[in-house]
Structures are given as C-alpha cells and as structure tokens.
Amino acid sequence: MRRDVYDVVIVGSGAGGGMAAYELTKAGATVLLLEAGGMWDNTKDSDMLVAPWETPRRGGSTPDKPFGEHDACIGGWNVPGEPFTTAPGSRFQWWRARMVGGRTNHWGRISLRFGPDDFQHKSIDGLGDNWPITYDDVKPYYDEVDDLIGIFGSREGMRNHPDGKFLPAPKPRCWEMPIKKAADKHAVTCIPSRLSIITRPHNGRAACHYCGQCNRGCRTNSNFTSTNVLIAPALRTGKLTMRTDAMVREVSVGKDGLADGVIFIDKVRGEEMKVNAKVVVLAASACETARIMLNSKSAKFPQGLGNSSGMVGKYLTDTTGTDVGGFLPALADQPRHNCDGVGGAHLYMPWWLDNKKLDFPRGYHIEIWGGMGMPGYGVGGGMQNYAGGGGYGASLKSDVRKYWGTGVGFSGRGEMIPNEKSFCEIDPRAVDQWGIPVLRFHWEWSDYEYNQVKHMQETFRTLLQEMGAVVRSNMPTKEQGYGIATGGSIIHELGCVRMGSDPKASVLNEHCQTWDCKNVFVADGGPFVSQADKNPTWTILALSMRTSRYIAEQRKGGKL
C-alpha cells in the first residue's frame, strides 16, 4: 500500500469524517478513511428490541459501555491503553468513541442549527471571538444536511433558532405535557424537539417505528449514523477504502512543506504504517485532532503541524450542564400504555431569555426526561425515598408498581465562553500503548458558566414546583459550583483547532484549511470558535460538507 497515493485521506469516521467521505467520493476523489476503532454496524450488531431479561446485566453498564450493555457506543471516558492526564487542579474527562461511525453511535440525535448570533456573538457582548463566517454562509449547507439526512421539528420562526427543512414531529408523550404546561405558565419556550430521526421514509431509509432505542443503534437506519447514512453510500461509489483499527499518530510532511500522508499504527498487527495522500482531512474529534497536529513535528513545523500561531489545543470548550429531577405524584398509578416514542424527548426548550437582563452572557437549552421506559438495571430502586419508606413484602411490590414512571427531570445544556485556562497540550512525560504522546488537559470554569448553571438550577426547581413535583435534592451551593457538570462530561468538546480570520490567532481559515499547510483540513468540532447553546453535530456536518466542497473545487482548479 505504500505505493498507493490517495487523493484524500480522512482520519476519523464520525459525523465530520463520514460527511467528508460522502462528499469527496461523490466529487470523484479516491478516498481512504481511517478509523481508530473497529467495525460495528447498527443494522446488524444492534441490540434493538432485545428485552431486558435476555442479557445477564439487564442493561447495566460494562467497562467498555458506560451507558449500559445495550448502548451502541464502544468507548467512554476511559479507553484501555489510551490514557490522558489532567494538570494539577484541573478536572476534565475525555470521552472517546472507538468504532466506525464514532460518536454518531452515541448521541441523542439532537440536531440544532446554530443561529445568526451564535456565529457573531462577540459583536453582541464583546466576549470570545466571532467566527470568520456567518449564518448565511452556512445556511445552504444546513439545508442540504437536513435534506440528505432527515430531521423532524416544527417551524417556529425564532430568529436565533432557525427552522430547518423538517419532517413532521411526533406528538408529545403524556408525561411531557405537564412539563409544557408549567413552561407555558412561566413563559419558557417549549417546542417539539429537533432530532435526526426520520418520521417518514426518507432517501431510501425506513421511517421510525418508535421503539425509543436510538441509543442501541437502529436496525432500520431510521436515525442518523455516519456509518450507514454517509459511509455506506460513499462505499457504493467504489471510490472509498475504509480501514479500521488504524490509530493515527501524525501527519507526515514532505520536502515541499506540504502534507504527504499520515502515519498510523495498525492496532491488530501492532505495526506502524504510512499512507500517502494529496490531501489530509482530520476529523478525529476536536482533541484527538489537536493531539495529532501537536504530535506532527517536523523541521518545518517544530511546534506541530498547523501550529505556527501556537493556537492548537487552545480555547477548548465543553457544553455546561446540570440536572434536577423530581417525583411527580400526579404520574403515580398511570393507566399503562406504550410511551416509548422516539429515542429522546419529544419536546425541548430552546434559550428563551435576553442575556442583557441577566448576570451571565450566554444561554442554554433544556432537555427533559421521564416516562415509563423499558425496565432496566436500577428499575424500582430507591423505594425508601417514597411514602412507603422502603420496607419489603407485598407493600414494597405494590409501591414499585405505583411509583414506576413517576420521575421527571430537566437537564440544562449551555454555552461556555472559551477561556485561556481551558486547553489541551501534549504531556511530555506520558505515552499511550502505541507509544503516542498523550494529551494533558487544563480546565477552568468562569463565573459566566457558574452563574448560568445557577440559573438552570433555579429554573428547573421553579418548573418542578409548578408541576407539583417533589424534589429531594437541595439547591447546590456556590461552593458546589451550583452543580455544574465536570468539563468533558457532556461530551461536546469543541474548539482547540479554531478557525479565524487572522493566521496569528487561529489555526484554520474560513474553509477549515490550516493556514500553515494548504492541503491539511479539519472537519470535526475542532474548528468551532464558540459553542452556542446548541448541540454541535449539525454544525459539524454542515461545516464538513462546506469544507469538502471547497476541497473538491480546489482540486478541480489544480490548486490541491
């Protein structure tokens, strides 16, 4: 294979890498897609419709499946043989998916476009940085992503939460309606979710059958995964070669100062290999991409590839998060019915307030949970917290029946302002099992995030009280960070390979092309200049499509 020269090598097969493979093969390029994990195909390997009693742990977690043995995603915050470190005083958790399709096997399919303000927020509040592109630059790609992949939602006409090209949204579940009623009472916008689950047959894929198990992987491809919505059609072009268990160490640079391929470790054979390509697209996830770039040191790029600005690894962000749950007595002894629905809530709350009137600069959205979901490990637990006081025997048995499905809750997901104290770098003292230097994380929240999370807690408690729910947790104190989730635990790492308009202050130009090396591009969450109060996947897809089109154009013009 050393003699082969691919037009493009893509590192990572998640949302960004899958989209790049789809677009570039469609444009006629010969593409090699490298994935650090193994093969896994949701149409064959999923536990969809497996009953709880069919597996020994009844859905409980395993070392490589922290979200439960039925979860599709192989990986987690601890990957055997692939450590990371944190600087003294920093707490950060780094999630990795190690499988074809990457994190698209894991996520909740929450597919929110960024709005006009999200790309230019510095112009509004003076914080962080503006993107070098605007909503109008990305809108056509969002529209194409909607059409290609499929998304349901409702047209609401909200300025900073732009409508997409939506399939019909499913009706709310009954437990979601008291939440909507409380939200309406307190003027909290509560609308149908926007999820990449198809409620009508779409582009050759079957419509959702409402088993609520998207996280297990969908056997009918009714939700989005990179594996079968992007990579599979790319393979059918005959232009794509995919190689799994290929752990990329570095981008190699030729005498002309351009990248000439990548060096990876074949994890099965334990051998180091080089593959040649005219263009390199890094889509390994924000931090893994930064790691590859920092480890790509050469005479021309002694600080790492694309790092002449010193900005690789800098301004790492994660979404802020906190949760409050309660017991809603009105839901006790509900008449039984199937309330599975789609995998995820049918309603959500986009950011609805004006930050100018608040003590924190950026917003959050609210996700909700509850319902009589499939019993799994933990069902019927904590009965000592209910009116029966715990106990045993016939009364306990009937208490479990009575209170099953009475829990409801809220999770806030908010925008963090990028700061200088939150970044990753190479730990000079540690390598992973492949001998690749590992990342060391530095992390610090600011009062912008703490005040925002405090507002989440207060809002959730107000809504739960409005509903008549019993909340057992106390409002977390300032000393407890108002209950803010650990950095990295929301699994939305973004930034650290940021795009910008100044080569001295950014890694990438507006096409996600490295300033330093014109044939190296980034197509994951790395280019993000800011988080927004939205989940990043839809923007990763739109940017990857936009970048891929640019690569195809440049190739056609002989510039790459």
Residue list 241-270, contact with another protein (CB under 8 A): 241-245, 266, 268
Which of residues 258, 263, 353, 374 is near another protein by CB under 8 A? 374
Which of residues 134, 389, 465, 504 is near another protein by CB under 8 A? 389
By beta-carbon proximity to another protein, the closer residue of 337 and 478 is 337
- Binding to another protein, residues 7-36 (CB under 8 A): 32
N-terminal to C-terminal alpha carbon distance within the chain: 22
Q: Helix crossing, 176-185 with 447-467: angle to 10°?
A: 110
Q: Does 383 bind another protein (CB under 8 A)?
A: yes
Neighbours of 44 (CB within 10 A): 9
- Binding to another protein, residues 82-121 (CB under 8 A): 100
- Binding to another protein, residues 518-557 (CB under 8 A): none
- Binding to another protein, residues 432-491 (CB under 8 A): none
By beta-carbon proximity to another protein, the closer residue of 181 and 186 is 181
Q: Does 80 bind another protein (CB under 8 A)?
A: no
- Cite the beta strand spans of 371-422 per DSSP E: 407-414
Structure-token match 């889509």, residue found: 283
Which residues, in sequence order, are CB contacts of 427 under 8 Å at separation 6+?
84, 85, 437, 438, 439, 440
By beta-carbon proximity to another protein, the closer residue of 43 and 303 is 43
By beta-carbon proximity to another protein, the closer residue of 1 and 358 is 1
Q: Does 236 bind another protein (CB under 8 A)?
A: yes
Asked whether the CA dihedral 424, 426, 429, 435 is positive or negative, the reply is positive
Q: What phi and psi, each to the nearest 5 degrees, are found at residue 240?
A: -105, 135
Contact stretch for another protein (CB under 8 A) within 174-182, 361-369, 484-492, 504-512:
174-182
Helices (H), 128-278: 135-149, 176-185, 226, 232-236
- Using a 10 angstrom Cβ sphere, with 0-12 exposed, 13-18 middle and 19 or more buried, the burial of residue 78 is middle
Which of residues 358, 390, 473, 505 is near another protein by CB under 8 A? 390
By beta-carbon proximity to another protein, the closer residue of 124 and 177 is 177
Q: Tell me the two tokens of residue 149.
A: 């992949």
Which of residues 102, 150, 153, 178 is near another protein by CB under 8 A? 178
Contact stretch for another protein (CB under 8 A) within 89-97, 154-162, 232-240, 350-358:
232-240
By beta-carbon proximity to another protein, the closer residue of 4 and 147 is 4
The pairing of beta strand 240-243 with beta strand 31-34: parallel
The whole-angstrom separation of Cα 79 and Cα 472 is 34
Q: Does 211 bind another protein (CB under 8 A)?
A: yes
Q: Using CB under 8 A as the criterion, what x/- string covers residues 297-336 for binding another protein?
A: ---------------------------------xx--xxx
Provide the 3-class DSSP secondary structure of residue 182: helix
By beta-carbon proximity to another protein, the closer residue of 141 and 386 is 386
Q: Tell me the two tokens of residue 228.
A: 């079968």
Q: C-alpha distances in angstroms, 326 versus 130, 467, 485?
A: 39, 10, 18
**CA-CA-CA-CA torsion for 8, 434, 499, 141, nearest 10 degrees?**
50
Which of residues 66, 373, 481, 503 is near another protein by CB under 8 A? 373
Contact stretch for another protein (CB under 8 A) within 56-64, 416-424, 445-453, 552-560:
56-64
Q: Does 150 bind another protein (CB under 8 A)?
A: no
Q: Tell me the two tokens of residue 175.
A: 């437990």
By beta-carbon proximity to another protein, the closer residue of 342 and 523 is 342
The count of chain residues that interact with another protein, using the rule CB under 8 A, is: 99
Contact stretch for another protein (CB under 8 A) within 106-114, 306-314, 351-359, 368-376:
368-376
Run of H or E residues at 124 = helix 122-125
